[in-house]
Amino acid sequence: MSKILVPGTVEFLMAKIRIFKQKGLSTDEEEAELVNLIKLRSSLPTEGIGELLTAEEVLNSNFTIVDWQVIRIIFSIAAALYVNGEMLWLRIVGASRSGKTEILRAIAAHRDTKEIGTLTPSAIRGGLKEKQIKLLEEIAGYRVVTFDLAALLTIRKDARNEIFGLLRLVKDGRLVSDFGSLEGHLLQGTKFDWLMATTPYFEQVRVMESLLGERFIDLWWLPANREEMAIQAAENNPRLPEIRNTIADLVGKMLDKAKLRGSDIEAGHIDNAWLGKVANIAALLRTPVMKDLHGNISTVPLPEVGTDLAQGFQRVALGLQLLGINEYEPYIIRLVRDCVPSVRRVLISVLINTPTTADKLASETQLPVTTVRYHLDDLEALHVVTKHGNTNTYKIKAEMTKEVGSIWEQNIIQ
C-alpha cells in the first residue's frame, strides 16, 4: 500500500515537484511554487486538539485546500452533536467536484452518523402502520449527512415546496400527519443535526424556501486553484480508497474525542449577547422580498428574527470548543456573511466601502445591471441601503453602517 504523505516530508515535496512537472513548469518556477507551498503549509491552523490537527495534516497532504475555516466549521458542526441545543442544519454550497463531498464522506463513516440521499413528502411523514419505516425515528439522535441536494432541487415544484413546508415543521421538533381516517393521526417528535452539500443552483429556488421559513445555516465552500485540484485528483486516483479510509479513521477519532469532552463544555463561556446581535443582522440580510412576475415588490417585507440562527451559532461555537478552538468569533462572522444570498453579499461588499450607482456596481461586480437593480430594490425595501438624494447613488444606511461594517471588514479566510 502506498504511503499517506505528511506535509514537510521529502516524499511530500517530491510529489509536489512531480505535479509541477506535469504542469510544464521550469526548474525556477518549481522552486518558486515550492516556496509558496511551504508558506501555505505553514499557515495550516495550529489551535485545536491533536486529533483535529492530525486529520488536517493528512487532508493538507492529499488535497488542495486553501480555506481551512470552512473545514473547521464543518467539523465543529459534526462535533456539536455532543452538546445540548436545538437542531443544527448546515447547507454547504460549492461548485461541483470541488471537494466538499470528501469531508462529508469522512464524517458519514462515523457510527453516530446516518445518510440520507433523497427525500419525498411521504418519507418525511412516515407510514402510519407500526411495521412501516419512519424516517424521523430512524435518524433521531444522529447527525445526518446528505452528499448532494440535487435530488431534492430537481423534483417537481409542488413536491419540492411540500418538502420545504414539512421540513419547517420537522426543524421545530415535531410533525403531525393526518392520513384521513379515524386512527390516521400520527405525531412524531424528532431531533437530529444535518449536514448537506449543494451547488449554487439552490439559490434559484431559495426565495420559495425562504418564504416557507429559513431553517438552514449556509456555508460557501471556497475551492483552491481549479487546475491544481484536478492535477491533485489525478495523483490521488490510484490510492483514493486508502486516502479516504485514513481520513475517515482520523475524523472518527476526532469525533470520539469530542464526544468524551462533551460534558465538559459549558455554554456560559459563549457571549450570547454578541451572538444574538450578529444573528439578527444575518436574519435581516437574508430575509426574502416577495415580488410579482414583473419584479415589483408585492408586500412589505417582514424581516426574519434571528432566534434560530442564534441557537445554531451557539452550537457551532460550542462545537469549536470541543475541537479545542476557543476563538469562535471569526467562524461565526463567516457564517453570518455566508447566510446572505450571494448577489446581496457581493453588493454589500462594495457598498460598505463607498457609495456608488447601480451602473458602477454592475461594472465592478461584473453582474447585469438589471440583476443589480433587482437586488438593490430588495436591500432598500429591507432598509439596509438607501438612495443618496436624486443622484441614484446607493449607500448603506447610516444606522446599519457600523453593524454591517464590523462584519464585512473581517477577512473570512483563515
| pLDDT tens-digit readout, 56-73 | 989 988 998 888 999 999
pLDDT above 90 as % of the chain: 42
Predicted confidence (pLDDT) at residue 305 exceeds the cutoff of 80:
yes
Q: How many residues does the chain have?
A: 414
Higher pLDDT, 287 or 164: 287
Write out the three cell numbers for 25: 513548469
pLDDT for the residue 130: 52
| pLDDT tens-digit readout, 106-154 | 999 999 999 988 777 777 776 545 545 577 888 889 999 998 877 766 6
Q: For the chain, what are the domain ranges?
A: 1-65+225-264, 341-414
Structural domain 341-414, CATH architecture:
Orthogonal Bundle (1.10)
Q: In this structure, is the dihedral angle defined by the CA atoms of residues 382, 303, 166 and 178, taken in order, positive or negative?
A: negative
Confidence of residue 372 (pLDDT cuts 50, 70, 90): very high
pTM of the model: 0.84
Helix (H) or strand (E) holding 198: strand 193-198
C-alpha dist (Å) from residue 300 to 220, 291, 368: 29, 10, 26
156-160, 323-327, 356-360, 380-384: lowest mean pLDDT where? 156-160
